[in-house]
Amino acid sequence: MRLNKQIPQNRISILTLDDDPIITSTIQAYFKRSGYQVDVENNPYTAIERVRTGNYDILLLDFLMAPICGDHVVEEIRKFNQDLFIILLTGHKSMAPPVKTIRQLDIQGYYEKNDRFDQLELLVESCVKSIKQMRTIRKYKSDLEKAYMQTIEILRHVVESRDKATKGHSERVALLAKELAEEMQLSSDDVEMIHVAGLFHDVGKIGIPDSILLKNGPLTKEEFQIIKGHPAEGERIIMSYAPFKKLLNIVRGHHERYNGTGYPDGKSGEDICLGARVIAVADSFDAMMSNRTYRKGLGLDTALNELEKGRGTQFDPNIVDAFMKLVEKNGRANFERMYGYTAQ
């Protein structure tokens, strides 16, 4: 028998399932000596729920059990957990499931109970090596994503710091868009996606020269063409950050118009993604309510009237309706206080 190595296993957690309590307690005692966290279970249905609610890395389970066999347990687990490493325990090689079943259920191996325990330990150690590699890769990927996220966040702040008049614009648009999406009863995932898109919708303005971005007066046709490039530039900036893939159409499309006269692609109606249509209303409302170097904020009544005028042309009518309901629900005074003034 191999000597159990007394080394930490980086919190590797094992669940062992067998309808024979002697088997599970023996496995638990053996692997605990090697430094693993080992829990035992003798009921297949309870084991499935423990995997669902717990945080296990490896499952050791008997193939022939009552009331359901091991392969059926694995089938249920694979419906919600694809990462768990699984080793089947069999009384004899002839009782092992077909190779096809092992592949389909992504089972990492099987162990005959009449073999020496160190053979099972070898299988577990092989799983542990793969788990540690996966953790390293995920940490590296997470670190890269955090660094990229921080870079985009810095770009967003740089854009807003260049123009004091638009300070806080992205945060307000994100908040308005989130509340609007909730008013529309969108899914929690869609609400979160729209909220994050609101934070980064204008990040593409980083490439616009100050002479244009901060111009105190009307833009020339050529200057406006440069401004119109910022949605596509924003898409380009965030497209390398994997978690932002779902935001690309929102960032690119937030200046499209419902009647097809917007930019950069001239899309219309529901060809414009829903998130972009939501951001368009929130973005326009914030722009109208905010003070600019060349004008005061328009005030709530005027801003709401402009949204109404844009129903079916600039904006999705249903989203405008939802925004009006949101204003009435939250109170007009709260919206005016949000901008720190009452329009004159």
pLDDT of residue 278: 98
Reference 166, options 177, 155, 154, 157; nearest CA is: 157
Reference 127, options 1, 34, 45, 48; nearest CA is: 34
pLDDT of residue 73: 92
pLDDT of residue 164: 65
Low pLDDT (below 50) residues in the chain? 1-9, 343-344
Q: Is 321 left (phi over 0), alpha (psi -120 to 50) or beta?
A: alpha
pLDDT of residue 344: 45
Model's pTM, two decimal places?
0.61
Cα separation, 206 vs 227, whole angstroms: 11
Cα separation, 142 vs 134, whole angstroms: 12
Question: Rounded to 5 degrees, what are φ and ψ at 343?
Answer: -60, 145
pLDDT of residue 324: 97
Q: Domains of the chain by range and CATH?
A: 13-136 (3.40.50.2300), 163-338 (1.10.3210.10)
pLDDT of residue 9: 45
* Catalytic residue numbers, as ranges: 205
Helical packing angle, 317-330 and 300-309, nearest 10°: 160
pLDDT of residue 166: 67
> Pairing relation of β-strands 109-112 and 13-17?
unpaired
